[in-house]
A and B are shown apart, each in its own frame.
Chain A
């Protein structure tokens, strides 16, 4: 590579907008660009130029803010799949003629389906795969936290839901806030999904002492990733939360309980054993009932329900009668008394109420 061309790609890299998905990448590791797009796999880093603005008109940057996108912008993003029932389904594939921006956090691939309300995805023209000094593709997995064993002694609460946009993240943030106000050091972990800073920042804003997601375990997206890899990621992120001094961790699983990786994880006894209890977020009473049945099939009885259903008192009443479970709105989850008591109800330090009542 000539000095002239070397300067050229270095200038492009430094001028590019680095997406949130690349936040752990060390820029100095980039030693060149490659054009073997066909070999790209999930997590590989790509320099690309914005060719057409579509549904995602902004890119979430690694510094935590969003940047408007303009045609001609250079971006550094990661190749990955996406599963988002309200947006796109896409696979981890880079094609020389163009790639789709599947998520504003910086996940690109080939869209193969979209929600009826979504415009076509923003298109990018690949400029080159980021390579290290040995000519190897730089992948997010290189920057993952070291694998660690699942720690003992943590209180771990799982948040699962009926679907995307059922109110999981809002419920997690509220619960994190309540547990924080109850005096505990609390971590929030987004275990599955596609890299984005919305949830990450919501957890921080709620008062989480430690926040992490699957990107910290080396993945841009968990869709189509081996379940064992996601399970190892859980253990690693829990260990990181423990090392950060946290006593309680709230773990959010993206999408709904029918999503393939989520369903596989929930049916895995070793995975479930990491959790002291689950809260299930639903948008309406029927999805509350249906979700509870799905969870029951996986051996899970949630301790409480939450989510968008809380907007409708009638739906709350229906769900409470049909499931026998309390439906807890955000205000309740934010209450240190209620959050602390819910935590204790899950961590099993007490016998059932019937044993208490003489």
Chain B
């Protein structure tokens, strides 16, 4: 059973009317903690899973999407891949299998009847975008659609070593299988929106860079997003499936989740800046203050 601490609405800033919110603590090594929002009147749409960036602000990411989830009647899930338990979550495979962690959350929610849909919509920002597209490649059967927002780098549909490509990793990596290339056609059929700000072209301390990576993908997030979508189109042509990946460059937007959302990173997104919240706050720069299942 998923252990969820139900919260009172007054604990949560912002207009979350109609969204019942729970925090589920982590099960060490098995399941990450997560925030869960359940609408009072579910619309029957696929649940939305939003994955934080490297600052691991699951709460902030959840808050940003909560109004949208409430208004659209969708279950909202924001896993917290904390540093101690899920280092390297963006690579999905490895010592801790972040994909299995998310599947554990979804399985628990299904067994409790919170989720009835098999598929999810994935939204990932920055490192979360890396997780999102790699998860979608690993498990396309679970994904209805995905938005890959401002990823630092990508898994390209080539045989470069995982996690840059589908090939054998340079070091042994738990969960890697040579058969993942077989997932590519189903992955390429998924509606994938690759979104990145038109000003997200700075090379900062978080931009992974080396000769091989830059040669394969480009140097900036903007350049890499373009190249990845082009590569997906080429792969789709080679394997004989229609490519469903699209690139959207967001105007007047840097590496900032709130800006991205306000610039159209999610279609029909309702900006829901909560009362009392700092409107200029970058959600992904706020360190999570979730402790012991309580929303502080």
Which residues of A are in contact with B by a Cβ distance under 8 Å?
Answer: 181-184, 326, 332, 335-338, 340-342, 344-345, 349-351, 353, 355-358
Taking CB atoms, residues of chain A closer than 8 Å to B157 are: 356, 358
Nearest-CB distance from B176 to chain A (Å)?
9
Q: Is the pair B238, A356 in contact by a Cβ cutoff of 8 Å?
A: yes
> With contacts A183-B141, A183-B142, A336-B103 known, is A358 near B179, CB below 8 A?
no
Q: Is the pair A345, B239 in contact by a Cβ cutoff of 8 Å?
A: no
Q: Is the pair A337, B180 in contact by a Cβ cutoff of 8 Å?
A: yes
Nearest opposing residue in chain B for A347, CB measure: B182
Taking CB atoms, residues of chain B closer than 8 Å to A335 are: 100, 175
> With contacts A351-B238, A355-B238 known, is A337 near B185, CB below 8 A?
no
Taking CB atoms, residues of chain A closer than 8 Å to B142 are: 183
Cα distance A326–B168 in the bound complex, in angstroms? 13
Q: Is the pair A341, B240 in contact by a Cβ cutoff of 8 Å?
A: no
Cα distance A340–B138 in the bound complex, in angstroms? 8
> With contacts A183-B118, A336-B139 known, is A345 near B175, CB below 8 A?
no
Taking CB atoms, residues of chain A closer than 8 Å to B284 are: none
Nearest opposing residue in chain B for A345, CB measure: B182
> With contacts A336-B103, A336-B139, A356-B235 known, is A342 near B158, CB below 8 A?
no
B interface secondary structure, majority: helix
Given contacts A338-B177, A340-B141, A341-B180, 9 further A-B contacts (CB under 8 A): A184-B141, A326-B177, A332-B177, A337-B180, A349-B186, A353-B159, A356-B157, A356-B184, A357-B159
Nearest-CB distance from A175 to chain B (Å)?
13
Does B26 sit at the interface, judged by CB under 8 A? no
Of the A-B pairs whose beta carbons lie under 8 Å apart in the complex, a sample of 13, sorted by A's number, is A182-B139, A184-B141, A326-B178, A335-B175, A337-B99, A337-B180, A344-B185, A350-B181, A351-B240, A356-B158, A356-B181, A358-B157, A358-B238
Cα distance A340–B186 in the bound complex, in angstroms? 11
Cα distance A344–B166 in the bound complex, in angstroms? 15
Mark interface residues in B184-203 (1 if CB within 8 Å of A CB, else 0).
11100000000000000000
Contact check: which of B97, B103, B177, B238 meets A341 at CB < 8 Å?
B177
Q: Is the pair B100, A342 in contact by a Cβ cutoff of 8 Å?
A: no
Q: Is the pair B175, A349 in contact by a Cβ cutoff of 8 Å?
A: no
Q: Is the pair B185, A350 in contact by a Cβ cutoff of 8 Å?
A: yes
Q: Is the pair B141, A182 in contact by a Cβ cutoff of 8 Å?
A: yes
Nearest-CB distance from B93 to chain A (Å)?
8
Nearest-CB distance from A350 to chain B (Å)?
5
User: For window 76-131 of chain B, which residues contact chain A by CB distance below 8 Å?
Assistant: 97, 99-100, 103, 107, 118
Nearest-CB distance from B97 to chain A (Å)?
8
Q: Is the pair B234, A358 in contact by a Cβ cutoff of 8 Å?
A: yes
Nearest opposing residue in chain A for B110, CB measure: A183
Contact check: which of A181, A184, A332, A344 meets B186 at CB < 8 Å?
A344
Taking CB atoms, residues of chain B closer than 8 Å to A353 are: 159, 166, 178, 181
Contact check: which of A181, A184, A344, A358 meets B183 at CB < 8 Å?
A344
> With contacts A351-B240, A358-B238 known, is A342 near B179, CB below 8 A?
yes
Nearest-CB distance from B47 to chain A (Å)?
14
Taking CB atoms, residues of chain A closer than 8 Å to B234 are: 358
Taking CB atoms, residues of chain B closer than 8 Å to A183 are: 118, 139, 141-142
Q: Is the pair B118, A341 in contact by a Cβ cutoff of 8 Å?
A: no
Nearest-CB distance from A336 to chain B (Å)?
6
Q: Is the pair A356, B166 in contact by a Cβ cutoff of 8 Å?
A: yes
Q: Is the pair A337, B177 in contact by a Cβ cutoff of 8 Å?
A: yes
Q: Is the pair B180, A355 in contact by a Cβ cutoff of 8 Å?
A: no
Cα distance A184–B184 in the bound complex, in angstroms? 18
Taking CB atoms, residues of chain A closer than 8 Å to B181 are: 350, 353, 356
